[in-house]
Structure formats: structure tokens, C-alpha cells
Amino acid sequence: MSVPDRTNGTNGSSGAQASPPPAGIYVPVPTFWAKEGTASYDPVSPPLDLDTQTEHSLFLVKGGIRGLVILGSTGEAIFTRSEERNQLISSQRKALDDAGYKDRPIIAGTATQQIDDTLKMIEESKAAGAEFAMVLGPGYFAPATSQQGIQKWFQAVANKSVLPVMIYHYPGVTNDLYIAPATFEKLAAHPNIVGTKLSHGIIDDQTLIAASPRIDHDHFYVFTGLGQNLLPVLTIGGVAAIDGLAGIFPRIVVRLFNMFNESAAKGTSKQDMQAMRDLQFRICEGEKLVAAYGVIGIKEAIARLWGMGSKTGGRLPLAGGFQEGDKEWSKWAETFEGLKQLEEKFKSEGKEA
């Protein structure tokens, strides 16, 4: 793996073509807050728990995760102060570097509506150690927003962004903002826009982007935001996934990604295809929790299965975790204990790290 050039993505107005992040499985990491009962705990706005954050980051990269998305939707970006954002990014960049993982890029999320605020956040993220910016679409006025307006908004950000820009298309958190495949074709031509995370299940739109002959796919990478779609998206030209379940079971999701690429290189057999389908099935079983509970479910599983973090969830209004605690977890326990056993089996084989 090559070490990323951290000067990549100089001001987009220079016209120089930026490079996309290396292909592989990325995790939108949760942000860990101080646990109840600790001296620094505040029930309204608990501080960062950087020790657990680092423990989780190293757990992921040792499991083969290619890079981290910090302060995306799963990272509760909208509940995080500016100084906390910078502290979070810089601490994890240092932790990765110190542990020998300088080649694992950090993608910093933004979730602002205003262009200048977005650019400032990207600039601060770069100073803290991020290599790419994943920019959420502006959805406040989604019903009245035209495709031309979306195109011009992202182009305005990319023109001045000091980091390469990835388009984060997640209708579920942007008031159902819709970005059409034709708009992606136009945006993909921008020298400082290098990819997208598609967090929706519209498989025909994903195909029209990932397989479009009007997009330079060496410059613009398509990542699915849904691990349950990983195998289908790989077959239509997508690069990989930025996936929540991989934050719990990194080796399982990485294994499917590796299986696909290895089998494609040598010629996919029926046995290869069946093995990939079986693994995709297991991933889909686990993704049901992620789809149902989002960051709350991810944190619950990480705490219960691996002992990292707290089951009490996020900052208000997400604080509290599962409302019915053990009763709700019992509905998922069999599936997740089975996935944990599979994760540990893959760890013993030592293929992903």
C-alpha cells in the first residue's frame, strides 16, 4: 500500500486533477463519548473519549480497513463542536501514524448547508490531518432545490476546497434531497471531485453512475454506503463500501471485497460466486440492525461484542441506547454472536490485516 500524498487536493481552483482515495473498505466511525460514571461525564454533552476512539480505530485497521471516515452521519457530526472535530481528527491521524498506519487515509465529513462554512470546515479538517472531504448535500430546501442548484453548490465547494471532495448522497438525512445520475456525470468531471458515497438503495441509479461511460472512473470512485449492497455494487463498477457494519466486523466486509477482486483477477468460478453470495447473505443479516438503529445500534454492538465504548449511545437526542436494553438486543444476539465467531475465524486466518 502506498502512503497517501497529504498535499493532494490543493485548492480546487488551481485546476490540477486530484486523485481519489485508495480503493478498499472504509468505516464511518462512531464518535465515542465519555461513559456514565466517569469523572468527566456530562449527561447533556459528554466529552470525547479519545482512548476508546483510538482503540476502535486500531481495531479497524488491523482488520484490513483501508481508511476511516470521521464525522460522517455515524460520527454524529452535527452534534460535535469545531474544536472537538479538530481534536478528533488530529488524535486519530497521530494514533494511526504512531502505530505504523500512515497509509490509511482519513476522510472528514461535513454536514453544513452554507458554502463558506463548508470550506472553513474542510480547511480545518486538512490542518488536523484529513486527506479527503466527504461533503453532505445541502438538503434544507430539498423539495425546491433544482439539479442545477445542486451542481453549482458542489462545484462552488470544489472550486475552493483545499481537499479533494467526495459527494455524500444520503437522502435519509437530507430531507430526501435527490441527486440525479446526470448531475453526478457533470460533477464527476470537476478536477477536485473524486468520488461519492451513495447511501441509498436505488440500484438503478447506482448503476447509472458506477457504470456510466460518461464518467472517468479512474478519477471518480463510487462507494456504496450500504454493505448489504456491496457485492451488487462491485459487479456494476463500484469501487467498494463505506460501511457501518464494517465498524463492528471489519474482516467480514473486507473479506467479501477481497474475494470479489481476487476471483475477478483469476476468473470467477461458480464456487467463488456461491462463496461470495453466502458471505453477502451473512452481511445482510447484520446490516438489518444498522438500518434499524444507525449509530445507536452500531455502538450497542461494539460495546456488547468487543467491550469498547458505552451502550448508552450518543449525545442528546440519541443518548440512552436501546430503550428496552437486553430485551431488544436478544432479538439480534444470535445473528451477531454468529458474526463475531466468523470475524474471529477470519482473524485467525490472518488474511485481511
Tell me how far apart the alpha carbons of residues 172 and 199 are, in angstroms, rounded to a whole number: 8
Residue with cell 442528546: 316
110: Cα separation from own chain's centroid: 12
Q: Which of 168, 170, 221, 293 is catalytic?
A: 168
Q: Helix, strand, or coil here: 167?
A: strand
Q: What is the DSSP string of 32-71?
A: PBPPTTSTT--SSSPPB-HHHHHHHHHHHHHTT--EEEES
CB 245 within 8 A of CB 24: no
- CA quadruple 123, 141, 149, 68: dihedral sign: positive
Q: Which stretches within 100-190 are classed as H helix?
A: 115-128, 147-160, 181-188
133: Cα separation from own chain's centroid: 11
Q: Which of 101, 126, 170, 197 is catalytic?
A: 197
Question: How many other CB atoms sit within 10 Å of the CB of residue 217?
Answer: 18
CB 136 within 8 A of CB 110: yes
Question: Side chain identity at 297, as an amino acid letter?
Answer: G
Dihedral in degrees, nearest 10, Cα atoms 341, 322, 53, 139: 110
Residues contacting residue 305 through CB under 8 Å, at least 6 positions apart? 248, 336, 337, 340
Kindly calculate the radius of gyration of the chain based on its CA atoms and give it in whole angstroms.
19
Q: Is 168 a catalytic residue?
A: yes
Tell me the three cell numbers of residue 198.
451513495
Tell me the three cell numbers of residue 312.
448508552
Q: Is 101 a catalytic residue?
A: no
Tell me how far apart the alpha carbons of residues 96 and 293 are, in angstroms, rounded to a whole number: 29
Q: Which residues are catalytic?
A: 168, 197
